[in-house]
Structure 1
Amino acid sequence: MSVFQTYLQLGFYHIFNLRAYDHIVFLLALCAPYVLADWRRVVALVTSFTVGHSLTLALATLGVVNYSAALIEALIPITILLTCLVNLGKAGKAEPRLARRLRPEPIVLALPNLLAAVFGLIHGLGFSSYLRELLGRQSRPIIELLAFNVGVELGQLLIVSVILVLGFIILRVFNAAHRDWLLVVSGAAAGIALVLLLGQLA
C-alpha cells in the first residue's frame, strides 16, 4: 500500500473514531435544518467547512501556526453549541407562507457558509493534533497531509449522506414534523457539546 493510500485510510477512519465524535456531532448539527432535497446547499456548507479546516490543518501540521490544544478542545464544543443555537432559533420562527415563496437575499444564503468556514478553521486545528501524532518528526509531509485531508472529506461526505437519508426516512416515512426533527437533533447535539465543554473546563 502506498503512503497516499495509507494516510487516505487514516483520514477516512479518523472521522469515525471515538476520538473524533465531536466532529460527527458538529456535522449532525450543521445538517439538521436541511432535508434531502437541499443537498446542494448542504454540499456548499460542507465545502465551506472543508476550506476552513483544510487551511488550518495544513498550517498547523506544517508548523506554520502554533496553538493551545486545550483551547481548541474547548472551542470545538462551542462551535457545536453555537450551531445548535442558530438551529433552535430557526425552529422557533414559523415562516410566513409569502416568505417561503420569496428568494432569500444572497447575503442571507452566504451567512451559513461563512459560519461553517470559520468553524472549520477551529476544527482543522483539532484534526492536526491527531495527524501530527502520526507523522512524528517528519517536517514536510505534503503527500501525507493531502491524503489525510482527502480521507477526512470522504468520511464527512459519507456521514452527511447518512444524516440526510436518516432525516428523509424520519420526515417522509414516519411523517415527523421538520420542526420536531430540528429541535430533537439540535437539542441532542447541544447536550453532547455541553458535556464536552464542561469536561474541558473541569
Structure 2
Amino acid sequence: MNDFGFYFGLGWGHIMSIDALDHILFVWVLAAIYLLRDWKQVLILVTAFTIGHSITLALSVLDLIDVPAEWTEFFIPVTIAITALVNIFRKEYTTRHLRLNYILALLFGLVHGLGFANTLRSMLLVKGQSLGWSLFGFNVGLEAGQLVVVAVILLLASLVVDRLRAPRREWVLFVSAGVFSLALKMALERLPS
C-alpha cells in the first residue's frame, strides 16, 4: 500500500504543481465548453484523457514505444492549441456536437502520457516496483487531481455564464483564445531543432 500512496502522490502532483501548467491548460481548455450541469459529460471526458494517458505511459515504460522527449514536449502544447481552436470554431454545445471532445481527450491523452514516461520508468527501475500497481496509483492520483481542477473550472464557468449572465460562447472564446496563445508560445519555445 506504501507504493500506491507514493504513486498516488506523483499522479496528484503531476497535475497540481506549477510545473504542470501544460496539463492544467489542457484540462482547462477541454472543460471550457461545459457548465456545472454537464458534470457527468466532463467526468467521462477526463476519464477518456486518463485512459489515453495510461496507455502510452504503460507502453513507454515497457519500452514498446519510444518517442524522443523533445518531440513529446513539443506535441503536448500543440494538442492544447488544437483543442483550443476546436473550441473557438465550435458553434453549438449540444451533446451530439461535443462528442468530438471525447475523441480529442483520448487521442491527446496518448501524447500527454509520453511526457511523464521517462520519469516513471526511471523510478520503477530504481525502486524495482511493479508496473501495474504503480500505474494504478499514479492514475488514481492523476484522476483525482484532474477532478479538482475540473470542479474549479466548472464552478467558475457557471458563475460567469449562469450568475453573471455572460454569453456561453463569449466565455468559451475568452478561455480558449487565452489558452491557445499560451500553448502556441509553449510550442514555439519547445520546437525541436
**Cα distance in 1 between the residues matched to 2:186 and 2:145:** 22
Distance across 1 between alignment mates of 2:6 and 2:155: 29
Structure 1 residues not aligned, in runs of 5+: none
Structure 1 or 2, whichever has the larger Rg, is 1
Give the aligned partner of residue 159 of structure 2. Answer: 169
Residues 53, 113 of structure 2: 8 Å contact kept: yes
Matched, 1:118 2:107: yes
In structure 2, how many angstroms separate the alpha carbons of the residues matched to 1:198 and 1:165? 32
Q: Partner residue of 2:73?
A: 73
Q: Structure 1's 3 and 139: CA in aligned 2 closer, same or farther, altered over 3 A? A: closer
TM-score (norm 1): 0.86
Gaps of 5+ in 2: none
Aligned length: 191
Deviation at 1:123, TM superposition (A): 0.6
Question: 1:143, 1:47 → 2: CA distance?
Answer: 18
1:150 to 108, 119, 140: 140
Judge conservation of contact 2:49–2:109 (CA < 8 Å) in 1: yes
Give the alignment partner of residue 189 of structure 2, picking from 167, 192, 199: 199
Alignment deviations for residues 29-71 of structure 1 (CA, whole Å, 9 cap, x no partner): 1011111111121122112112111101111122222111111
Q: Distance in 1 between matches of 2:33 and 2:54?
A: 24
Alignment of 1:1-202 (within 5 A): 2-90=2-90, 93=91, 104=96, 108=97, 110-137=99-126, 138=128, 140-201=130-191
Contact 1:3–1:144 at 8 Å: present in 2 too?
Answer: yes
Contact 1:62–1:139 at 8 Å: present in 2 too?
no
State the one-letter code of the partner of 2:103. L
Q: Give the root-mean-square deviation of aligned CA atoms.
A: 2.1
Please report the TM-score for the alignment, with normalisation by the length of structure 2. 0.90
Instruction: Give distance in 2, aligned partners of 1:122 and 1:65.
Output: 12
**Distance in 2 separating the partners of 1:87 and 1:177:** 15
Amino acid in the other structure paired with 1:127: F
Deviation at 1:179, TM superposition (A): 1.4
CA contact (8 A) 1:62 1:140 kept: no
Alpha-carbon displacement from aligned partner over 1:101-160 (angstroms, at most 9, x marks no partner)? xx84xxx55432112111110011112233234334447433222211211111111111
Question: Cα–Cα, structure 1 residues 177 and 110, in superposed 2: closer, same or farther, change >3 Å?
Answer: closer
